[in-house]
Chain A
Amino acid sequence: MAEVVEIKEENRVYGKSPLITDNVMHYCPGCSHGTVHKLIAEVIDEMGITDRTVGISPVGCAVFAYNYIDIDWIEAAHGRACAVASAVKRLHPAHMVFTYQGDGDLSAIGTAETIHAAARGENIVAIYINNAIYGMTGGQMAPTTLLGMKTATTPYGRDPRLNGYPYKIADMMVHLDGTAYITRQSVHTPANVRKCKRAIRKAFDTAMAGKGFSLVEVVATCNSGWKMSPVAANRWLEENMLPYYPLGDIKCNE
């Protein structure tokens, strides 16, 4: 029989971030949002900047991010988060201002707001959850939906002649002079979670140092929308998403 070790403060190696609230998350089991929320909360707490951090939540599944991370939040109209964040940062230059957006929000309806905030070199961070689907509205095609992928609005698979091609906004943003740090991460394995947290921290540090715009894309699963078990979704992400959306830093201005 294994030895039972009493959990005490001195032998505790892991705990819930004090910035994660006790609210029950509405996300589906297996969803990546909860993990990314946790990483953001940990980074804000470790940086000690709760009193000068403002988060901008999107329209989409993460609209309720404000229920889970215990900081001041502004809930933006669909796609407009980077415009909202730009204004908050301009008026509070010493604050940490970040947006949390899905692929539909940031790279479909909000493309103009995103690109222009980046082009202006706003000292903000956009956390960009790319799960190749519209989760909240019930699994429709996103700008990032892979070719051949079945969704509620591409029931026979995404056909470029009918539905156009997916695109990589992160790769496009590399060419903007206002961007400082562009990275693509995932949270589908513990190792990737740790890398993703380092990337978020780097992006937050970049914004606080006034170096320009940062984008942290997180290639994520939507097992409900993909109609898979969480385990199968993680495997599908590795086999299908990562070849098209390869992980790693894409631009890093020192």
Chain B
Amino acid sequence: MAQQQEVKLMKGNEVIAHAAIRFGCDAYFGYPITPQSEVMETLMELKPWETTGMVVLQAESEISSINMVYGAAATGKRVMTSSSSPGISLMAEGISYIAGAELPCLIVNCQRGGPGLGTIQPSQGDYFQACKGGGHGDYHLIVLAPYSVQEMHDFVELGFELAFKYRNPAMILADGAIGQMMEKVVLAPQQSRMSEEEIASRYGSWATYGKPADRARNVVTSLEMQPEMMERNNLRMGAKYRLIEENEVRYEAIGCDDADYVLVAFGSSARICSATVEMARAEGLRVGLLRPITLYPFPMQPIAELAKRVKGFLSVELNAGQMVEDVRLAVNGVAPVAHYGRQGGMIYTPDEVLTALKQKLIKA
């Protein structure tokens, strides 16, 4: 008989904590910052070290927590951290090292407005940081953009899956709205953590959990002093990113089949834009929504295909215009592309988006 579904009403941030435990996460390291502090608070309340054995540790800074993630990930464990924009900036060095050492891990960014200390209100101003680097050197994060509390839950599993598949850090790029809002969520059944034996058999070629007599020592490092070898490492990582771009693009297309105009939006912005689509269609305007679920890899191809037959794209973002650059790259001059955004924690309503669409594209 099928197990009864466990349905709860929860905040997005709380769900991250529950999902981490349920998907067999080995450790969480973090530092408090608004608007995501509920993640660690919930974990501390749930005390998973008494049930699954998961380690939860409050570090002295985000610099420390990401380096704890680095160390734990190096031993083949499923580890994660969460923070919000200024904290992610502090982690940038560590994230670059994790990418450079090709370690899997999950990072949650519950974005707030910037730059600087900015505001604690929701924003999508970290798109560039998440998708275009953030730290130094040539690397990419796998970036997932949840637009519901359910996706906050589901992407913990997906994030770990992709991180381990490609030995690359994955990020859930949420925002203060998704993190703070309460919604119904179907929780996954409890999965067990991976045993030491399983880690040794799966990741024994690279993980540093102590050298047994029957294998050579493992070294986790991003350092390579020989230029020929370092370039080879860079090219290997580049090939991995091409593979990710080929295989892992995820997006949702709503009403795009007959659309004259397409809104491109992710996360909480996509949530608002889905109402805009309904509103526009009630007025007889054929408007669709393309919602990238993976921001890296970005859905270039689907947007390029749509560009051949639509009259324009409006990239709707809670920022000054970041994803719009990728939309333009995908469209490649074939159709008009405009941006509409608000900043500082201000959020547009569905009809504001529709007005912007009319002003920027339909009447133009």
Contacts and interface: CB of A to CB of B under 8 A. Distances in A.
Contacts of B75: 54, 88, 91-92
B210 A95 contact: yes
Interface in B210-224: 210-213, 217-223
B210 A83 contact: no
B74 interface: yes
Interface residues of A, number: 31
Interface residues of B, number: 38
B63 A76 contact: no
Contacts of A85: 71
Given A74-B71, A85-B71, A90-B57, A52 B208 contact: no
Given A88-B75, A90-B57, A75 B223 contact: yes
A52 B71 contact: no
Contacts of A50: 210-211, 213
B27 interface: yes
B94 A80 contact: yes
Contacts of A71: 210-211, 217
B220 A80 contact: no
B322 interface: no
Interface string A48-73: 00111110110000010010001111
B330 interface: no
Contact of B71 (A63, A83, A116): A83
A72 B59 CA distance: 24
A112 interface: yes
Contacts of A70: 211, 217
Given A51-B211, A72-B217, A80 B67 contact: yes
A192 to B, nearest CB: 29
B217 A90 contact: no
B70 interface: yes
Given A54-B75, A84-B67, A84-B68, A90 B210 contact: no
A84 B219 contact: no
Nearest to B218: A72
B217 A116 contact: no
Interface in B194-222: 208-213, 217-222
B340 to A, nearest CB: 39
A87 B68 contact: yes
Nearest to A88: B71
A86 to B, nearest CB: 6
Contacts of B93: 77
Contacts of B211: 50-51, 53, 70-72
Contacts of B71: 56, 74, 76, 83-88
A85 B213 CA distance: 22
B223 A77 contact: no
A83 B59 contact: yes
Contacts of B63: 80, 83, 112-113
Contact of A72 (B26, B67, B219): B219
B210 A77 contact: no
Contact of A76 (B55, B67, B210): B67
A84 B70 contact: yes
Nearest to A63: B223
Kindly name the residue among B63, B64, B67, B212 whose own CB sees the greatest number of chain A CB atoms within 10 A. B67
Contact of A90 (B55, B60, B212): B55
Contacts of A57: 221
B74 to A, nearest CB: 5
A91 B72 contact: yes
A136 to B, nearest CB: 11
A75 B219 contact: yes
Contacts of A52: 210
Interface in A77-119: 77, 80, 83-88, 90-92, 95, 112-113, 116
A87 B209 contact: no
Contact of B27 (A73, A80, A91, A95): A91
B343 interface: no
Nearest to B57: A90
B29 interface: yes
B217 A92 contact: no
22 contacts: A51-B210, A51-B213, A54-B208, A72-B217, A73-B221, A75-B222, A76-B70, A80-B70, A83-B63, A83-B68, A84-B68, A84-B71, A84-B74, A87-B70, A88-B74, A88-B208, A90-B57, A91-B55, A91-B75, A92-B210, A113-B60, A113-B67
Interface of B: 26-27, 29, 55, 57, 59-61, 63-65, 67-72, 74-75, 77, 79, 93-94, 97, 101, 208-213, 217-223
Interface of A: 50-54, 56-57, 63, 66, 70-77, 80, 83-88, 90-92, 95, 112-113, 116
